C-alpha cells in the first residue's frame, strides 16, 4: 500500500478543483464462544483505497489495490464532470499529522489461548446461574491504520487499536425464553473490557429477572430513563435529527431552529470524539478535519448541526470533524461520534420520589425514529413500576414513544452520575462505532405494552 507521500505525489499531478485519497487497513481477530464451544476463530487483514474528485459534483471510486489507481482517477474525474450544480466546501486549514493511539494493554501482548481464556471467564460466570439456557461471548480486536491526503495539502496518518466484547444470555423457564446482553469496547486496549465476569453477571441477572417480569401498563405517565436509555434517546431522537444532510433534505424537525429553545433549560447535549478510550474516539475525521467537541444543545438552545465539509459549505457554517465513513468503500457522511448529555445534580431516589407513580425504563432493544416528524418509538430492555416513589414490579415488553422536542422540554430532573455505553450506528448502509455518555433523567412520555 502506498505511503502518504506517494499519495500526495499522485494528487499533485491532477488538474482538478479538489481531490482526496483515503486508505484503510485493518488487521483483526475475532473469537466467538457459544455454550463453551469455539464457534469462530478468525484473523485477517482487510484493506483498500478510495478516491474522491470534485468538479460539478463528486466522483468516487475505490479498490482493494493501488494497481489501477490511475484508472480510478480517470473514472472519478469523468463522473465528477457530469453534475448539474457546483458543490461548495467549507474551508479548513489542511493538517499534517502522523501518530498512533497507544493501548495500555495491547491485544498483541496476548496469544489466542490467553484471549480465549478471557471469553471463558465471562462464560463461566454466566453459566453458574440456574435458569440460564445459553451463553454466547463474542470478542473482537483490531489495529486500524488510516491515511488521508488531499490536493489542499492535508497529510494524515493515524494508527489506533479497537477492542470489544459482548455477552449474550438466554434464560429459560419452561417454554418462556428471555434474552439480555452487555457490551464493552472502545478505541483502546484490553483494559477497556474491565471486569468481564461482572459484565456477564449483569446480562444474566437481567435475563432471569425478565422471566418473572409483568407486562407494562399503557398511557401517558412519568418516566425515569436510566443512563443507557437516555443515551439511546439523545443519539437516535436528537443526534440523527442534528445531522446536516437530514436538515438540508428537509428530513429533520430541527431544520431552521438554530438559536431556538428546543429543550428544558438544564439540558445540554454535545458531540465529542475526543474522549480517550471511548467507542467514538478519533483524532481526524474521514476528510482530514481535526476532531473537536461541539455543543448541539446548550442550556436548552439548539446551537449546531453535525457536518461534512459539503454540508457545512451549503449552510455557510464551519466543518468541525463529523465526516465519518465505515471504510474505504464508503463516502463520508455527517455522523455522530460520542453523543453526550451534561450531568445534573439529582440522585435516582430523588427522581423516583418526584415521579411518585410511573415507570423506570432501562436500556433499549431498538425502535424507530422519524427525524422529519420528530417522533420516535423505542422498546426498553426492561422496566419497573414506580409506586409511591419506590421501584416495585419488574416489567417487560415496554415501549416508549413521543415527540422528541416535547420530551426534551418536559425534562424535570437530570442525574448526577453518567455512564458510557458503546454501540454501532447504522445510516445509509454504513455502520460506525459510537458511544453514548448520559445520566438518568425524569420526563413525561407515552408508555405502551408489547411493541
pLDDT at 70: 78
* Average pLDDT in the chain: 94
Distances from the Cα of 150 to the Cα of 11, 52, 67, 73, 372, angstroms: 7, 9, 19, 13, 34
For the chain, residues classed under CATH 3.30.2290.10 are 4-211
> Running DSSP on this structure, what letter comes out for residue 280?
T
Higher pLDDT: 423 or 68? It is 423
Cell readout for 212 is 418473572
pLDDT at 2: 60
Distances from the Cα of 270 to the Cα of 10, 246, 302, 360, 442, angstroms: 38, 18, 10, 25, 19
pLDDT at 66: 82
The alpha carbon torsion through 276, 369, 58, 90 (nearest 10 deg) reads -60
pTM above 0.85, yes or no: yes
* pLDDT bucket at 7, cuts 50 / 70 / 90: low
Provide CB contacts within 8 A for 341, sequence distance 6+.
230, 231, 234, 267, 268, 269, 414, 418, 437, 438, 439, 441
pLDDT, average across residues 128-155: 95
Share of the chain above pLDDT 70, in %: 96
Which ranges in 48-141 belong to alpha helices (H)? 69-80, 112-127
Cell readout for 303 is 446551537
pLDDT at 8: 66
Residue 85 has pLDDT above 70, yes or no: yes
* pLDDT bucket at 75, cuts 50 / 70 / 90: confident
pLDDT at 451: 39
With contact defined as beta carbons under 8 Å apart, do 203 and 169 qualify? yes
Residue 259 has pLDDT above 50, yes or no: yes
Residue 450 has pLDDT above 60, yes or no: no
pLDDT at 5: 65
pLDDT at 67: 81
With contact defined as beta carbons under 8 Å apart, do 401 and 375 qualify? yes
**DSSP states of 359-406:** EEEE----EEEETTTTEEEEE-SEEEEEETTEEEEEEES-EEEEEHHH
pLDDT digits (tens, 9 = 90+) for 352-382: 999 999 999 999 988 889 999 999 999 999 9
- CATH homologous superfamily of 4-211 equals PmbA/TldD superfamily (3.30.2290.10)
Amino acid at each position: 500500500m502506498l505511503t502518504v507521500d506517494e499519495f500526495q505525489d499522485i494528487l499533485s499531478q491532477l488538474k482538478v478543483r479538489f481531490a482526496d485519497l483515503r486508505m484503510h487497513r485493518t488487521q483483526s481477530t475475532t473469537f466467538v464462544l457459544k455454550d463453551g464451544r469455539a464457534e469462530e476463530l478468525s484473523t485477517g487483514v482487510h484493506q483498500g483505497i478510495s478516491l474522491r474528485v470534485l468538479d460539478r459534483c463528486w466522483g468516487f471510486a475505490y479498490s482493494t489495490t493501488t494497481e489501477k489507481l490511475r484508472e480510478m482517477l480517470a473514472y472519478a474525474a469523468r463522473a465528477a464532470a457530469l453534475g448539474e450544480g457546483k458543490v461548495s466546501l467549507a474551508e479548513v486549514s489542511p493538517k499534517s499529522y502522523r501518530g498512533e493511539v497507544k493501548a495500555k494493554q495491547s491485544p498483541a501482548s496476548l496469544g489466542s489461548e490467553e484471549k480465549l481464556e478471557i471469553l471463558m471467564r465471562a462464560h463461566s460466570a454466566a453459566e453458574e446461574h440456574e435458569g440460564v439456557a445459553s451463553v454466547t461471548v463474542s470478542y473482537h480486536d483490531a489495529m486500524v491504520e488510516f491515511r488521508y491526503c488531499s490536493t489542499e495539502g492535508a497529510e494524515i496518518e493515524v494508527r489506533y487499536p479497537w477492542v470489544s466484547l459482548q455477552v449474550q444470555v438466554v434464560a429459560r423457564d419452561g417454554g418462556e425464553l428471555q434474552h439480555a446482553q452487555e457490551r464493552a469496547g472502545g478505541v483502546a486496549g484490553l483494559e477497556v473490557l474491565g471486569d468481564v465476569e461482572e459484565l456477564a453477571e449483569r446480562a444474566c441477572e437481567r435475563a432471569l429477572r425478565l422471566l418473572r417480569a409483568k407486562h407494562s401498563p399503557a398511557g401517558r405517565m412519568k418516566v425515569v430513563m436510566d443512563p443507557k436509555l437516555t443515551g439511546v434517546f439523545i443519539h437516535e431522537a436528537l443526534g440523527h435529527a442534528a445531522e446536516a444532510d437530514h436538515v438540508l433534505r428537509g428530513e429533520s424537525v430541527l431544520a431552521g431552529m438554530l438559536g431556538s429553545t428546543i429543550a428544558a433549560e438544564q439540558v445540554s447535549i454535545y458531540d465529542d470524539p475526543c474522549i480517550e478510550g471511548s467507542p467514538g474516539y478519533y483524532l481526524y475525521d474521514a476528510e482530514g478535519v481535526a476532531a473537536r467537541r461541539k455543543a448541539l444543545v446548550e442550556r436548552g438552545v439548539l446551537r449546531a448541526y453535525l457536518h461534512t465539509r459539503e454540508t457545512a459549505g451549503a449552510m455557510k457554517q464551519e466543518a468541525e470533524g463529523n465526516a465519518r465513513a465505515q471504510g474505504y468503500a464508503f463516502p463520508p457522511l455527517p455522523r455522530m461520534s460520542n453523543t453526550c448529555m451534561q450531568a445534573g445534580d439529582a440522585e435516582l431516589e430523588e427522581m423516583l420520589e418526584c415521579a411518585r407513580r410511573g415507570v423506570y425504563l432501562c436500556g433499549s432493544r431498538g425502535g424507530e425514529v422519524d427525524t422529519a416528524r420528530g417522533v420516535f418509538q423505542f422498546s426498553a430492555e426492561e422496566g419497573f413500576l414506580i409506586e409511591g416513589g419506590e421501584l416495585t414490579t419488574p416489567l417487560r415488553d415496554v415501549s416508549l414513544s413521543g415527540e422528541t422536542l416535547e420530551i426534551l422540554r418536559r425534562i424535570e430532573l437530570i442525574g448526577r452520575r453518567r455512564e458510557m455505553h458503546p454501540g454501532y450506528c447504522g445510516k445509509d448502509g454504513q455502520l460506525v462505532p459510537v458511544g453514548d455518555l448520559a445520566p438518568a433523567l425524569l420526563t413525561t412520555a407515552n408508555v405502551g405494552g408489547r411493541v
